[in-house]
Chains A and B, each alone.
Chain A
Amino acid sequence: GENVEQHPSTLSVQEGDSAVIKCTYSDSASNYFPWYKQELGKRPQLIIDIRSNVGEKKDQRIAVTLNKTAKHFSLHITETQPEDSAVYFCAAPPVGTYKYIFGTGTRLKVLA
């Protein structure tokens, strides 16, 4: 069945440093790997996603890497800023099930 593990649960970094959040999934049928950001009191919103036919995708200061063999993918945020402080969620919905299960979330705090 679907299972996504996300680590760490909390992460504090100094402004300007990098942050890395990792997710591990169990279903080899998964081929879509999104990351969502949820600011305090707001709805989750997609910030970046990757499909299984590529190993890395970048969008300005954020990037996602995928290792299908090891069944894990990671979110990388470089040059962190205070506005990056939020909770980040990953997901790995398996093809054909349509059950969009999220990881448990990572609370990122960027310290000024």
Chain B
Amino acid sequence: NAGVTQTPKFQVLKTGQSMTLQCAQDMNHEYMSWYRQDPGMGLRLIHYSVGAGITDQGEVPNGYNVSRSTTEDFPLRLLSAAPSQTSVYFCASSYGQRDTGELFFGEGSRLTVL
């Protein structure tokens, strides 16, 4: 199993550009989520999903969109990037629903918005 795979690992954007961070898991996990981690700060939840077709907002959802059309994939979209979105983004997944358990993280995507 590859686990949780994020792409790209690094990206530089100009203000106003759009992009999508990809996240895929091959563990048949129901729960998937996106976090951002700013320098010296903790993990803040952006959006999460408890299954295909179901998404919900986390702590810091503004400026980000998500969708969950399949169990495996949970892309994060930035429609108009801003310098404040410069951060490291982590995708994570878990079996979820019936039994809260371990979150498995991807390696992270470092985004810089100029």
Contacts and interface: CB of A to CB of B under 8 A. Distances in A.
Interface string B48-59: 101000001011
A101 B100 CA distance: 12
B41 A49 contact: no
B94 A100 contact: yes
Contacts of A34: 102-103
Interface residues of A, number: 20
Contacts, number: 57
A36 B107 CA distance: 15
B43 A89 contact: yes
B45 A32 contact: no
B74 interface: no
B97 interface: yes
A32 B101 contact: yes
A110 B97 CA distance: 37
A111 interface: no
| Contact-size category for B | 20 to 34
Contacts of B50: 98
A104 B31 CA distance: 22
Interface string B23-47: 0000000010101000001111100
Contacts of A105: 41-43
Nearest to B50: A98
**7 smallest beta-carbon distances between A and B, as pairs:** A43-B105, A105-B42, A32-B100, A104-B42, A102-B43, A46-B102, A98-B50
Interface of B: 31, 33, 35, 41-45, 48, 50, 56, 58-59, 90, 92, 94, 96-97, 100-103, 105-108
22 contacts: A34-B102, A34-B103, A36-B103, A43-B105, A43-B107, A43-B108, A44-B43, A44-B103, A46-B102, A46-B103, A49-B101, A89-B43, A98-B100, A99-B58, A100-B33, A100-B45, A100-B92, A102-B35, A102-B43, A103-B42, A104-B41, A105-B41
Given A32-B101, A99-B45, 6 more contacts: A32-B100, A43-B90, A43-B106, A43-B107, A43-B108, A46-B102
